[in-house]
Amino acid sequence: MPLPLVDQYRRPVTYLRISVTDRCNLRCQYCMPAEGVTLRPKPEILTYEELLRLGRVFASLGFVKFRITGGEPLVRHELVPFLADFARIEGVNELVMSTNGILLTRCAEGLCQAGVQRLNISLDTLRRATFELLQRRDELGRTLEGIEAARAQPFRRIKLNAVIIRGVNDDETVDLARYAVERGMEIRFIEFMPTGLQREWTHDRVVPVAEMQERLRAVWPDLAPIAGPEGSSGPSRVWGYAGGAGRVGFISAVSETFCQACNRVRLTSDGHLRGCLFSDGQRSLREVMRSGGSDDDLREVIRGVVWNKVESHRIGKDDFAPVELGMSELGG
Ligand code: SAM
Ligand code: SF4
């Protein structure tokens, strides 16, 4: 097995997040403006052949975990057969996906059979009116049905992701945790981050994870951090209920930085490789491929992006500036 690449701060980088489309069937307030984002013309989006080639090249550099994301990955045509091919690439040990869940009723079985091992499904609210406000579409019903469709398949794990925004859904942390624990799923609460293009972020709308933990502990006093390697998963800190009845994760991009554990790079749907969600540095792998570059040329560019990953994001610092791409393009 190839040795993992490391960046200049000695962090091993073995995880690629791939945005397969910039399109989406929702318009979440925290991700994009109400009118959506300007979509890339189709010829600019990486083809499945190009993505499979990149999968093989990244695997040859010691990448083992690949997350398919977007935009909403399930709106891209013929995704399932592509994933079946991707899962067969030697070295692809973990193939996982982030989705808003709406299309899972028709795709969950195919995804599982194609070799997708784990799903992260976004669920920020259990209230229809809040969903309509936050996601700007009346789709809570299909999202919940999608979660049930996924639960009926033998995925290794299904996690829920909830972005918590003060004044919108911060009063739902306990209900969301209960919904997850009753169904044997882990839920991860995510602080609202100042990502590019959405115009809703202000510091006072961020609910620090410490506050979320306090709300949960008022109901489950024995909820506590899990010790050892189980207690952290990339940027997420994991807590458990007494008796092993379930787990809750917390991602605190704003109130504490998680960058020291960063092990990932991101591929945009139009083929740019980025080292950080919060920094605009990028290189185009599409250009290398479409100008006849070799796999070695690709490896050289990838090594450069990994080496140059920034040490830490600048959220909360005076010189912080949001990036110029939205989460849906960056593969959030
Ligand atoms: N459409 C899929 C979904 O919503 O799960 C995958 C793409 S979405 C960009 C990936 C993740 O980014 C979601 O879990 C979403 O909640 C998260 N996200 C988007 N904007 C965010 C923000 N401003 N702060 C925190 N998380 C955000
Ligand atoms: Fe779409 Fe996901 Fe962004 Fe929501 S967070 S608008 S579902 S890409």
The residue whose C-alpha atom lies closest to atom 17 belonging to ligand 1 is 332
The domain of 275 spans: 5-330
Provide φ and ψ at 96, rounded to 5°: -135, 165
Q: Is the pLDDT of residue 303 over 80?
A: yes
How many whole angstroms from 9 Cα to the centroid of ligand 1?
Answer: 27
Q: Count the neighbouring beta carbons within 10 Å of the beta carbon of residue 100.
A: 28
How many whole angstroms from 227 Cα to the centroid of ligand 2?
Answer: 32
Answer yes or no: is the C-beta of 69 below 6 A from any ligand 1 atom: yes
Answer yes or no: is the C-beta of 163 below 6 A from any ligand 2 atom: no
Give the C-alpha separation, 136 to 114, whole Å.
31
Give the C-alpha separation, 116 to 20, whole Å.
15
Q: Which ligand approaches the C-alpha of residue 162 most closely?
A: 1
Provide the token pair at 135: 């996601």
- What's residue 332's pLDDT? 66
- What's residue 94's pLDDT? 97
- What's residue 180's pLDDT? 94
- What's residue 254's pLDDT? 75
Answer yes or no: is the C-beta of 30 below 6 A from any ligand 1 atom: yes
Q: Is the pLDDT of residue 314 over 70?
A: no
**Structure confidence by residue, pLDDT tens digits, 130-154:** 999 999 999 999 999 999 999 999 9
Which has more pLDDT, 293 or 326? 293
The residue whose C-alpha atom lies closest to atom 10 belonging to ligand 1 is 332
Stretch 93-107: mean pLDDT, rounded?
98
Count structural domains, the chain: 1
Answer yes or no: is the C-beta of 173 below 6 A from any ligand 1 atom: no
**Structure confidence by residue, pLDDT tens digits, 69-89:** 999 999 999 999 999 999 999
Instruction: Say which CATH number the domain at 148 has.
Output: 3.20.20.70
Helices (H), 78-138: 79-87, 104-114, 128-134
Q: Which ligand approaches the C-alpha of residue 120 most closely?
A: 1
Atom of ligand 2 nearest to the CA of 327: 3
In the chain, pLDDT over 70 holds for what percent of residues?
93
Q: Which ligand approaches the C-alpha of residue 327 most closely?
A: 1
Per-residue pLDDT band at 279 (split at 50, 70, 90): confident
- What's residue 323's pLDDT? 65
How many whole angstroms from 117 Cα to the centroid of ligand 2?
Answer: 21
- What's residue 255's pLDDT? 72
Which of 208, 248, 243, 259 is closest to 225 using CA atoms? 248
Which of 248, 122, 231, 236 is closest to 185 using CA atoms? 248
Q: What percentage of the chain's residues is helix, strand, coil (to nearest 5)? A: 35, 20, 45
Which of 251, 268, 254 is closest to 326 using CA atoms? 268
Give the C-alpha separation, 146 to 9, whole Å.
40
Give the C-alpha separation, 42 to 20, whole Å.
12
- What's residue 2's pLDDT? 85
How far is the first Cα of the chain from the last one, in angstroms, to the nearest whole number? 28
Q: Is the pLDDT of residue 317 over 80?
A: no
Q: Is the pLDDT of residue 242 over 70?
A: no
Answer yes or no: is the C-beta of 29 below 6 A from any ligand 1 atom: no
CB 31 within 8 A of CB 19: no
CA atoms within 13 A on the CB side of 192: 24
From the CA atom positions of the chain, what is the Rg in Å?
19
Which H, E and C letters describe 43-58, residue by residue?
HHCCCHHHHHHHHHHH
Answer yes or no: is the C-beta of 71 below 6 A from any ligand 2 atom: yes
The residue whose C-alpha atom lies closest to atom 8 belonging to ligand 1 is 332
In the chain, pLDDT over 90 holds for what percent of residues?
73
Average per-residue pLDDT for the chain:
92
**Structure confidence by residue, pLDDT tens digits, 149-191:** 999 999 999 999 999 999 999 999 999 999 999 998 999 999 9
Per-residue pLDDT band at 322 (split at 50, 70, 90): low
Q: Report the run of H or E that residue 101 belongs to, with start and end.
A: none
- What's residue 195's pLDDT? 78
Q: Is the pLDDT of residue 259 over 90?
A: no
Q: Alpha carbon 250 to chain centroid distance?
A: 14
Atom of ligand 1 nearest to the CA of 192: 24
The residue whose C-alpha atom lies closest to atom 7 belonging to ligand 1 is 70
Give the C-alpha separation, 258 to 132, whole Å.
31
- Angle at CA 319, nearest 5°, toward 314 and 322? 65
Answer yes or no: is the C-beta of 13 below 6 A from any ligand 1 atom: no
